Amino acid sequence: MIITLSWLKNHLNSNVNLTKIIDKLTGIGLEVEGVKESQSELSDFKVAKVLRAEKHPNADKLKLCEVSLGDGKVIKVVCGASNARNGLISVYAPPGSVIPKTKMKLKIAKIRGVESYGMLCSESELNISNESDGIIELKNREKDVGKNYFKNKKEKSIDLSITPNRPDCLGVRGIARDLASAGLGKLSDLKKTKIKQSFSQPINISIIKEKNQGCLSFGACYIKNIKNKESPEWLKEKIISLGLKPISAVVDITNFVMFDLNRPLHAYDADKIDKEIIVRNSKPGESFEALDGKKYTMKNSMCVISDKSGPLGLGGIIGGTRSGTEFETKNILLESAYFHPASVRKTGSILDIDTDAKYRFERGIDPNSVKEGLEAATNLIIKICGGEASKFSIAGKTQVKNRTIQVDNNKFRKIVGIPITSNEIKKILNSLGFKIKKSKNYFKVEIPTWRPDIHQDVDIIEELIRIKGFDKISLIHPERIRSKETLSFKQKLFHLAQRAVANKGYLEAVTWSFTDSSIDKLFAQGKQEIEIANPISTDLNVLRRSIFSNLIIYLKKNQDRGYLDLSLFEIGPIFFGNKPGEQQIVLGGLKSGVINRKSWDSKARNIDVFDVKADTVRTLIELGIEEEDLFISNKSQDYYNPGKSGSVSFKSEHGPKLGFFGEIHPAIASNLDLKEKNVCGIEIFLKNIPEPKKKYRLTKKNYSVSEFQKSERDFAFVINKNYKAGEIKKIISEVDKGLIKKVLIFDVFEGGNLPEGKKSIAVNVTIQSMDKTLSEKDINEVSQKIVNSVKNKTGATLRS
Amino acid sequence: MANLDELIQKVLNVKDKLSLQNLKSELLGKNSQINQEFKKLGSLSEEERKAKASNLNTQKKKITETIDNKFKELEKLEINQKLKKDIVDVTLPARERPNGKIHPVSQVIDEISSIFSEIGFSVAEGPDVETEYNNFTALNTPEDHPARDMHDTFYLDDNKKNLLRTHTSPVQIRAMLSGKPPFKIIVPGRTYRCDSDQTHAPMFHQLEGLHIDKDINMGHLKGCLDYFIKEFFEVKKIQMRFRPSHFPFTEPSAEVDIGYRLENGRIIVGEGDKWLEILGCGMVHPNVLKNAKVDSNKFQGFAFGMGIDRLAMLKYGINDLRSFFEADYRWLNYFGFDPLDVPTNYRGLSR
């Protein structure tokens, strides 16, 4: 909503300056988005006549125009508009002027070999409308050629952001009322001029009673024998200050009243109406051509204003060309109606139309302003265009009753925390147009019909503190008491996992929860795709089913920038359905490249599965799981290299899945055309990490270490090649838990003189007793048990 | 027997460890002169023997000590000589240790949690996918309400029942429905709007706050936010302005601006002639309490919501919102935080 100070002062008796008004507007919730000097830099733009328009010698779509400013000189301008033609009066911008829309400064430029001195402008380029189809066409302005197109009156306009609950402030008078209430002057009375109304409104108007009828009331005035013309200067200025384009007196007046009183109106050329006006629900497939030049085809149950021949317009949204007023129009029918917000909003959104009227009706117009609107507009039309007005006719509901609500006397103090006097309450509410009746414990408030946002006592409280001033609320310092833990176990895990992985050299990324379906499916394990109905772009069209989908895209982008040795991770949601809760938190990391690339002293080597295994296992231990409870298997997911990946589960193969690690499948790296194809990944599923029993977390197991000599023995087993080292380790550990302190696999090899299909695994075992120094004999006994156990369980032989 | 001093001198003249070893067996070994002398002691009278033995022991001790000292001296010399040849260039690069980083959004969430923890808020969460009811209707934003225009919503089905939450406010509803008052929670989380340009990203982070109890009024709201903003920006003085605004789920509603000034193109938060909008808040609307099965005659309180990314940008001088989500290695390294830099109450938010 744009207002100017002078317009505001039509309704507000006040001598305060602009700065004070701006501060106060923001202070009472009418947020000032900006203040701009209207039109001062626009004096460069001149009304000009196109003397001749010919085809550009080197371009089919361009024209070479000879333009006159009425001083006898001819200016050559190259123009791309199809409507540039001989004799057209338009708007000319000379070199050096700044085009309001693009903020570009014009230069003399050669266009396809011909010099162009400035340009001819479209309305959109001058920011006076969105019309960009062709240059401005001015009618009957021959006498103005050479004059400024914009009247150079320096007035500042204030751009307000009006919240959706305040339709009343979509009119200047509503804003003036709020300012007056806040103490910045007095709201002036509306001027009433007696209009001579000598005859009855002759056109029959009916609102069809049907389900979902969007129109509550339809007021009208017939004005005959007018002479429509260009608006007088004062009115044009007002219209331009709103960012609109003056059209004709009749149209400008309806727009003026809409912005002045927040009362949308529509004017029909009465002679073009076929017999009568019928307000009814649309039939599917009906169509009409609207004033924005577009043809709209209606669906069921949209509120249309029609005559005998069909739709004339969409109620509260837009009128049609068939009944539009023109300069030649003699008789008009002026409409002032009330349309239901939900109906207008629905129709507008289905047909994708947005107009100033629609914007107002969907927020709620004062239903009792029908007559007021007719009076204001009729008065101005007769003043400017002459003619005779009929009596007003109102179809439908003529008067809507004011609602009342009851507010407890203590409510203000209870909600706001400070007291307010009865006098203050009365003063504020009365000045806002509320009527108030006091009882002992409460007061009753009658709500003006222009305030559809007020429904209950808290709404009244808001009005009171809004006008009294939010700065009056006294601050109460918070108490520093904590009665509940800040984070739950899972939340603590999240924070811990995040920092644990970052501490291993990974950089944390935060990426979208949605991703590219073509990448996501590579990691989806065949799970159902989760589409977004209205994605922002085709490469962000699904919710991610894997934490890797986006990470690998960004890994590639970083590689493409020339960074090959990367470690990235993200901790966040992945999805397995499109309903609330069908998601889980996953930590995923990707590493690519080599370790010790170009190192002066260490040999470079590829990052491999054991690097990411270390990161996974270490992180899980840091998250509170005992190492012995981590069960490692070589079964992972499709998107890992099947021979170089694994999983970690809790306690056994079938226990909760804690994570995966391994080399990303080479087919994926090559499919994505990664510059560095050696990529390894880790995944940790936080929801499967068990919460230790509280007691266990707080108190550690008894501290016991042995004071006696420890011994180490090495064994080398020859065993089937596909036997897992992890299993041998487990078998040995379980031979004698009391004596075997540590089992370390320190060498693995195949080939040499080993038989085909076999490998050698070398194990170092630490043996130590808690209560004595072991004799050679004791140690040999344990060793023998180890050898026997491994032999029996795996068929291995001791390597000689 | 040779003169003791001569022998000592002989030891002192030795130049290397091997010669010293040889000299040691010559002087003290089985066939050494001194050993011979000891053997002769048996043939002497008691008195002579005592005197001679004492003398011999003294000599032997003296020689042994000298040899030991000489040995240590030679050893030291040898090491020093060896070290002279064994010098590395310490200006060569050290072995790489990988350095990870925490994303600024995560860091700021930890800071915020730490600040609110101090005054008794706990952290709550909710799903990213929400029902249309929780995201809008329960929050007093019925269908056809123009306020819905302010949220460009991503939908997951054509009948618009499930969507990506446009704000963290639906967690208010979930939290209240799943417990009993009082409620004192903050909710950091991902939020989504289908809007994308220089200053808008289709995903961003919000922080929701909710405090419902018997007598929580706007004064408490003001105090809570005043505390938070000062703690967060780590400044003692900060200008703050509450302005009336409108959100369907609070009444009265306010937006909060903080004062700032520009210094060399950077925003300095605290005092100055400019205002920056940083959050929206208000008293929870009775309709919302009703939808969340809380008796609004007995309980009332405030809620607020703010953009976490924006707070991070302001505090750490980051200009471009979109860069938060582009995972550029250089950016993450530059704006990321050391994982050891954990915000705490007792040590402070930042190192």
Provide the chain B residues 149-188 that lie in CB contact (below 8 A) with chain A: 149-150, 154-158, 160, 162, 164, 184
- The residues facing A148 across adjacent strands are A46
Instruction: Please state the domain extents for chain B.
Output: 4-85, 104-335
Q: Find the distance separating the first CA and the last CA of chain A, reported in whole Å.
A: 94
Inter-chain touch A561–B328, beta carbons under 8 Å: yes
Query: What token pair was written down for A178?
Result: 């709020």
Provide the chain B residues 52-81 that lie in CB contact (below 8 A) with chain A: none
Residues of chain B in contact with residue A28, where contact means CB-CB under 8 angstroms, are 244
CB atoms within 10 A of CB A285: 9
Residues of chain B in contact with residue A494, where contact means CB-CB under 8 angstroms, are none
Q: Is B70 helix (H, G, I), strand (E, B) or coil?
A: helix
Inter-chain touch B215–A551, beta carbons under 8 Å: no
* Residue B277 · residue B255 · CB < 8 Å: yes
**Matching residue, tokens 């289709």:** B202
- Which residue in the set B113, B253, B342 is minimally distant from A486, CB to CB? B113
Mutate: best of A455, A536, A541, A560, partner B, most B CBs <10 A? A536
**Matching residue, tokens 């070479």:** A64
* Residue A238 · residue A309 · CB < 8 Å: no
A164 closest CA partner among A13, A39, A30, A307? A30
Output b/e per residue, A324-354; b: 16+ Cβ within 10 A: bbeeebebbbbbbbbbbbebbbbbbeebebe
Inter-chain touch A509–B118, beta carbons under 8 Å: no
Structure confidence at residue B151 (pLDDT): 67
Query: What token pair was written down for A534?
Result: 């209205």
The mean predicted confidence, pLDDT, of chain B is 90
Structure confidence at residue B48 (pLDDT): 84
Structure confidence at residue A130 (pLDDT): 66
Structure confidence at residue A541 (pLDDT): 94
* Structure confidence by residue, pLDDT tens digits, B206-227: 999 999 999 999 999 999 999 9
Residues of chain A in contact with residue B92, where contact means CB-CB under 8 angstroms, are 600-601
- Which residue in the set A414, A456, A533 is minimally distant from B155, CB to CB? A533
Our measurement of the distance from residue A607's CA atom to the centroid of its chain's CA atoms, rounded to an integer in Å, reads: 41
Mutate: best of A476, A542, A598, partner B, most B CBs <10 A? A476
CA distance B340 to chain A (A): 8
Given CATH 2.40.50.140, say whether it is the number of domain A40-144. yes
Provide the chain B residues 295-314 that lie in CB contact (below 8 A) with chain A: 300
* Residue A364 · residue A341 · CB < 8 Å: yes
Distance of alpha carbon A423 from alpha carbon A161, whole angstroms: 31
Inter-chain touch B117–A600, beta carbons under 8 Å: no
DSSP A650-704: ESSTTSPEEEEEEEEPHHHHHHTT-SS--EEEEEEEGGGSPPPPHHHHHSPPPP-
For A505, nearest residue in chain B (alpha carbons): B100
Residues of chain A in contact with residue B328, where contact means CB-CB under 8 angstroms, are 557-558, 561
Judge residue B66's burial from the number of C-beta atoms within 10 Å of its C-beta, 0-12 exposed, 13-18 middle, 19 or more buried.
Answer: middle
Distance of alpha carbon B204 from alpha carbon B324, whole angstroms: 9
**Matching residue, tokens 């109450």:** B345
Query: What token pair was written down for A639?
Result: 């998107």
Inter-chain touch A481–B119, beta carbons under 8 Å: yes
Which CATH architecture is the domain A2-39+155-187 placed in?
2-Layer Sandwich (3.30)
Residue A543 exposure: Cα atoms within 13 Å on the Cβ side: 28
- Which residue in the set B102, B103, B217 is minimally distant from A414, CB to CB? B217
DSSP A730-747: HHHHTT-TTTEEEEEEEE
Distance of alpha carbon A409 from alpha carbon A443, whole angstroms: 7
* Residue A224 · residue A387 · CB < 8 Å: yes
Inter-chain touch B244–A417, beta carbons under 8 Å: no
A516 closest CA partner among A551, A484, A486, A481? A551
Give the DSSP letter of residue A196: P
Inter-chain touch A485–B220, beta carbons under 8 Å: no
Our measurement of the distance from residue A440's CA atom to the centroid of its chain's CA atoms, rounded to an integer in Å, reads: 48
Element (H, E) at B65: helix B46-85
Residues of chain B in contact with residue A500, where contact means CB-CB under 8 angstroms, are 339
Query: What token pair was written down for A199?
Result: 């005859």
Mutate: best of B88, B123, B302, B323, partner A, most A CBs <10 A? B123
Does the pLDDT at position B146 exceed 80?
no
Q: Find the distance separating the first CA and the last CA of chain B, reported in whole Å.
A: 77
Inter-chain touch B131–A580, beta carbons under 8 Å: yes
**How large is the angle between the packed helices B218-233 and B308-316, nearest 10 degrees?**
40
CA dihedral A556, A561, A564, A568 (to 10 degrees): -60
Structure confidence at residue B295 (pLDDT): 96
- The residues facing A48 across adjacent strands are A90
For B144, nearest residue in chain A (alpha carbons): A342
| Single-letter residue type at A11 | H
User: Is the Cα torsion angle A777, A778, A782, A785 positive or negative in sign?
Assistant: positive
* Residue A661 · residue A682 · CB < 8 Å: yes
Phi/psi at A70 (5° precision):
85, 5
Structure confidence at residue A41 (pLDDT): 58
Residues of chain A in contact with residue B149, where contact means CB-CB under 8 angstroms, are 164
> A404-468 adopts what CATH topology?
Phenylalanyl-tRNA Synthetase; Chain B, domain 1 (3.30.56)
- Which residue in the set A165, A474, A505 is minimally distant from B219, CB to CB? A474
**How large is the angle between the packed helices A422-431 and A172-181, nearest 10 degrees?**
160
Q: Give the CATH number of domain A706-798; options: 3.30.70.580, 3.40.50.150, 3.30.70.380, 3.30.365.10.
A: 3.30.70.380
On whether the pTM is more than 0.95, the answer is no
Inter-chain touch B252–A465, beta carbons under 8 Å: yes
Inter-chain touch B150–A487, beta carbons under 8 Å: no
Residue B21 exposure: Cα atoms within 13 Å on the Cβ side: 4
Structure confidence at residue A768 (pLDDT): 92
- Cis peptide before B286, with omega less than 30 degrees from 0? no
Judge residue A192's burial from the number of C-beta atoms within 10 Å of its C-beta, 0-12 exposed, 13-18 middle, 19 or more buried.
Answer: exposed
Give the DSSP letter of residue B206: E
For B174, nearest residue in chain A (alpha carbons): A580
Inter-chain touch B251–A458, beta carbons under 8 Å: yes
Average pLDDT over residues B81-110: 92
| Single-letter residue type at A765 | V
Inter-chain touch A26–B243, beta carbons under 8 Å: yes
Q: Is A484 helix (H, G, I), strand (E, B) or coil?
A: coil
* Residue A186 · residue A59 · CB < 8 Å: no
Distance of alpha carbon B132 from alpha carbon B154, whole angstroms: 11
CA distance B48 to chain A (A): 53
Instruction: Please state the domain extents for chain A.
Output: 2-39+155-187, 40-144, 197-396, 404-468, 489-695, 706-798
- Which residue in the set B103, B162, B243 is minimally distant from A27, CB to CB? B243
Q: Where are the beta strands (DSSP E) in A576-627?
A: 583-592, 594-595, 605-606
**Matching residue, tokens 């960009």:** A132
- Cis peptide before A202, with omega less than 30 degrees from 0? no
CA distance A258 to chain B (A): 19
For B330, nearest residue in chain A (alpha carbons): A558
Inter-chain touch B129–A418, beta carbons under 8 Å: no
Inter-chain touch B220–A476, beta carbons under 8 Å: yes
Inter-chain touch B101–A508, beta carbons under 8 Å: yes
Residues of chain A in contact with residue B134, where contact means CB-CB under 8 angstroms, are 580
Query: What token pair was written down for B297?
Result: 């005659």
CB atoms within 10 A of CB A216: 18
Our measurement of the distance from residue A347's CA atom to the centroid of its chain's CA atoms, rounded to an integer in Å, reads: 22
Does the pLDDT at position B1 exceed 60?
no
Structure confidence at residue A148 (pLDDT): 83
A315 closest CA partner among A247, A396, A392? A396
* Alpha helices for A104-215 (secondary structure H): 172-181
CA distance readout (Å), A378 to A196, A205, A249, A390, A391: 10, 18, 12, 10, 11
Regarding beta strands A797-798 and B122-123, do their DSSP bridges make them parallel or antiparallel, or are they unpaired?
unpaired
Is B265 touching A (CB cutoff 8 A)? no
Does the pLDDT at position B197 exceed 80?
no
Which CATH architecture is the domain B104-335 placed in?
2-Layer Sandwich (3.30)
A133 closest CA partner among A84, A85, A100, A93? A84
CA distance readout (Å), B69 to B27, B66, B155: 15, 5, 89
Which residue ranges of chain A lie beneath pLDDT 50?
Answer: 40
Give the DSSP letter of residue A194: P
- The residues facing A54 across adjacent strands are A64
Query: What token pair was written down for B15?
Result: 């130049």
Given CATH 3.50.40.10, say whether it is the number of domain A197-396. yes
CA distance B228 to chain A (A): 10
Inter-chain touch B106–A507, beta carbons under 8 Å: no
Residues of chain B in contact with residue A583, where contact means CB-CB under 8 angstroms, are 127-129
CA distance B181 to chain A (A): 13
* Residue A369 · residue A450 · CB < 8 Å: yes
| Single-letter residue type at B317 | G
Query: What token pair was written down for B178?
Result: 């799943």
Distance of alpha carbon B12 from alpha carbon B10, whole angstroms: 5
Fold equal for A2-39+155-187 and A404-468: yes
CA distance A600 to chain B (A): 8
Residues of chain A in contact with residue B173, where contact means CB-CB under 8 angstroms, are none
CB atoms within 10 A of CB A391: 12
| Single-letter residue type at A703 | Y
> A489-695 adopts what CATH topology?
BirA Bifunctional Protein; domain 2 (3.30.930)
Judge residue A571's burial from the number of C-beta atoms within 10 Å of its C-beta, 0-12 exposed, 13-18 middle, 19 or more buried.
Answer: buried
Give the DSSP letter of residue B348: B
Inter-chain touch A540–B202, beta carbons under 8 Å: yes
For B184, nearest residue in chain A (alpha carbons): A484
For A583, nearest residue in chain B (alpha carbons): B127
- Which residue in the set A164, A550, A602 is minimally distant from B95, CB to CB? A602
